[in-house]
Structure formats: C-alpha cells, structure tokens
Amino acid sequence: MKRRHLLSAATALGTAPLAWAQAAYPNKPLRLLVPFPAGGATDILARTVSQKLGERLGTTVVVENRPGAGGTIGSDLVAKAAPDGYTLLLATSSTHAIGPALNPRLPYDPVHDFSPIAQVGLAPSIMLVPNSSPAHTVQEWIQHARRNPGRLNYASSGNGTIVQLTAELFKAQAGLFVVHIPYKGTALAIPDLVSGKLDVLFDSLPTGLPHVRDGRLRALGVTTLKRSPLVPELPPIADVLPGFESTTWFGLYGPKGLPADLQTRLNTATQQALADPEVRDKLARLGIEGVTGSPAQFAALVAADAAKWKKIIVERKITGD
C-alpha cells in the first residue's frame, strides 16, 4: 500500500513539470518570420495581426523579416526550428503552393516539414483592361479574344508569378490564345495598359484598384468565386468561367511536430485576433480579406491550391526563369 502511494506521488511529481510547462505557454516572446522584405503586403499583414495575436496569448509576437530566394530562406528557417510554438511562419501561396511546383528542389517539404495553424487571409486580383478596350464585361473580353487569336496580349509581374498563373488559368478555362508579356512588377506594366499597348492584366486588388477608382483603367471582374466584400461592385469571373478562382492566401505555420494542444491554442488566438474590427479594417485597406478556419481546413486549402497551380505550371510549361 505504502509502495503504491510512493509510486503515485513519484508519477505526479514526474508529470508536474511537463503539465506546468504546457500550461505556462507562452512564457517568452514568439518569433513570427516573414520570408519577404519589410514594407510589403505580407510584412504589413504580419505586423497588423501580430499585435492582437500577442494580446490574446499574453505575450509579445516579434516579427522578423528573412527575405530571399522567393520566400525559401525564411520558410526553411521555420522548417528546421524546434516545434515548441515559439517560432512561426507567415506563409503565402508562393512559398507553399506555387514555389514547390516551380522548384522541386526546395530545401524543405512544404507539407511534411510544417504544422498548419490557420489561414489568416486572402487577397483577390481584379481583371483590368484599358479604357479603350471594346470589352465592358468578362464575356465580351473573351469573345473579343476569340475573334483575335494571338493578336491580344497580357502583362505579368514576371515568369512564374501569381499574375502570370492567373492569366494562364483564365486562358485555359476560356480556351484562348493570348500572348504573354512579362514585366518586372505590375507597376511597370500599368502605363502600357493605360495607353492601350497591353490588353489585359490580372493585378492584385490593392495595386490595381486605385487606377480604376481614378478612371485610368476599367475593371471587368474579381478572381474570387463569389463577390468580394472588398469590391462588391465587381462580378466574379467565375460567373462566366465556372470554378475560376485565383487568390493569394496567407497563413500561419509552425515546424513539423508542433503539439496538437499548441496548434489549437495558436489557432484560437489567431481567430480571435482576426475577429478584431481594427484588424479587419486594416487588412481591408491592404486589399486583404481576413479569413481563417481550423488547421485541417487550412491544410486542405493549401493542398487544393498546390494541385491547381502545379497542373497549370506543367501543362503550360511555365518556369520561374
């Protein structure tokens, strides 16, 4: 009897430190790595969400920029970090859905080397045409392109970018022959689109919409499946091409092996942070819709997105060069 009591006491003492450590999480600041330069949309999003996330967790969330190699350097650092919940990654479509298809020799596995925590948001694109275009709707532009195979062009922000992939997805679903003209960023393409040298551009909402609002360009549709609350006046391209969707998603990851209880804790705190009106307002001004869900829902989103872009990349022989 005495021995059983001693064993019970020993067991309780042995598990107490572990239970205390889990209950005490977090007991120091968290690092949120952004694999892109400071000042961009991903960085601003991270700094917007990190403050409220820290408040919900009762600690500080420090944002660190680790840019390079299209997001690979920062992502790899998190993949190789300890799965203790103190090192997180703000990933995007390019790091975990597009990049792996363009570069199969990444130093990490985008699925097996990370623990999904939560989607944070999505940014739609809009279909832009010059004011001189004869098309005023998506359907009219498709008909215009079909009447002029190989005579129309589209601009992108470079080979292998979401801008090119969106246009190629559009071409594939509509059955069009439209010539690709890559630029080093969509900002450089805008003057040629305004002048009519270019025929169409699928630009991100925050960079493209101001040119529509000031009357320099015409927007025909948005790339979300349904009308976006960010631009409710624009019809979805999916109304004409069923199932058409192209958005840049943002999401939180931890290293592989992150304990389930920490995943849940971080997911709950993220959802609470995104529910904050101040956060949602700041994200909307960035052209990002705050969207979240469970870790499983986030993983399913990434898997579907990766499969879609890999199919387009392979079929269209797209490279990042």
The model's confidence at residue 9, banded by pLDDT at 50, 70 and 90, is: very low
The model's confidence at residue 5, banded by pLDDT at 50, 70 and 90, is: very low
Average pLDDT over residues 22-45: 90
The pLDDT assigned to 23 comes to 56
pLDDT tens column, 238-266: 999 999 999 999 999 999 999 999 999 99
How many residues does the structure list for the chain?
321
At which residue do the structure tokens 């079909």 appear? 146
Select from 112, 114, 47, 118 the least CA-distant residue to 74.
114
Maximum pairwise Cα distance, the chain: 92
pLDDT tens column, 113-162: 999 999 999 999 999 999 999 999 999 999 999 999 999 999 999 999 99
pLDDT tens column, 293-308: 999 999 999 999 999 9
Q: Which residues in the chain belong to E strands, given as ranges?
A: 30-34, 61-65, 87-92, 114-130, 153-156, 179-182, 200-204, 217-222, 247-255, 289-290
The pLDDT assigned to 3 comes to 45
DSSP state of 66: -
**pLDDT exceeds 70 at position 20:** no
Question: pTM of the prediction?
Answer: 0.87
The model's confidence at residue 10, banded by pLDDT at 50, 70 and 90, is: very low
The model's confidence at residue 11, banded by pLDDT at 50, 70 and 90, is: very low
DSSP 279-316: HHHHHHHHT-EE----HHHHHHHHHHHHHHHHHHHHHT
The pLDDT assigned to 320 comes to 83
Q: At what angle do helices 205-213 and 186-195 cross, to 10 degrees?
A: 30
pLDDT tens column, 54-100: 999 999 999 999 999 889 999 999 999 999 999 999 999 999 999 99
DSSP 196-213: TSS-EEEEEHHHHHHHHH
For the chain, give the mean pLDDT: 92
Sign of CA dihedral 51, 54, 60, 66: negative
pLDDT tens column, 202-230: 999 988 999 999 999 999 999 999 999 99
Average pLDDT over residues 97-119: 95
DSSP three-state, residue 244 = coil
**pLDDT exceeds 50 at position 17:** no
Residue 252 φ then ψ, to 5°: -95, 135
DSSP state of 20: H
